[in-house]
Amino acid sequence: GSTFFFTIPFEETQETQDEPKPLKTKEVVLKDKLILIVEDDASNFEYFKHFFERYDIQYIWAKNGEMAVNYCKEHPNIDLVLMDINLPILNGYEASKQIKKLYPDLLIVAQSAYVYDYDYDKNKLMEAGIKDYLIKPITVETLLEALKSYCT
């Protein structure tokens, strides 16, 4: 058999982690906001959670539409609801209708991967009191811009 020796040069460095991007002036507006994330999929919630913690935004997680309605009753200081549409127990349309009856001025934004017929969906969203629609997957940039525009 053969024996081989080799040397790999390297420089030792201190391990660092990427620091969260500092908040820009417009983003500071989000720090005092409370956002209800209505999402039944844990991995999708983790995405939102990571984003909200990175930007120091307060949030509550509801796993279904019924929980969302109850959380709105318990926390009347919620500034924005990010509502998934396909939810167990009570879907996003019905949950939004109930929330709008309680808080007509509360902003609800749908977030879903399901868009079949945009015109039909848009009318259904409006009937439920939903202001806008974000299509998953939602990029960090899209979410940040949307939140800044809704919360200012």
Run means of pLDDT, 10 residues per run, the chain, 152 residues: 73 59 53 93 93 91 98 96 94 97 96 67 86 87 88 78
Q: Is residue 17 part of a domain?
A: no
Domain count, the chain: 1
Task: Give CA–CA dist 133/38, Å, rounded.
Answer: 14
How far apart, in whole angstroms, are the C-alpha atoms of residue 133 and residue 146?
10
Three-class DSSP category at 108: strand
Let me know if residue 19 belongs to a domain. Answer: no
What CATH number is given to the structural domain containing 86? Answer: 3.40.50.2300
Domain assignment of residue 9, yes or no: no
Q: Which long-range contacts (CB under 8 A, 24 or more apart) does 27-32 make?
A: 27/55, 27/144, 27/148, 29/148, 29/151, 29/152, 30/55, 30/56, 30/57, 30/147, 30/148, 30/151, 31/55, 31/56, 31/57, 32/58
What integer pLDDT is reported at residue 26 of this predicted model? 47
pLDDT at residue 23 in the model: 46
What pLDDT score was predicted for residue 89? 95
Range of the domain at 110: 25-150
What's the confidence (pLDDT) of residue 125?
Answer: 87
Residue 151's pLDDT is what?
A: 82
> Is residue 4 domain-resident?
no
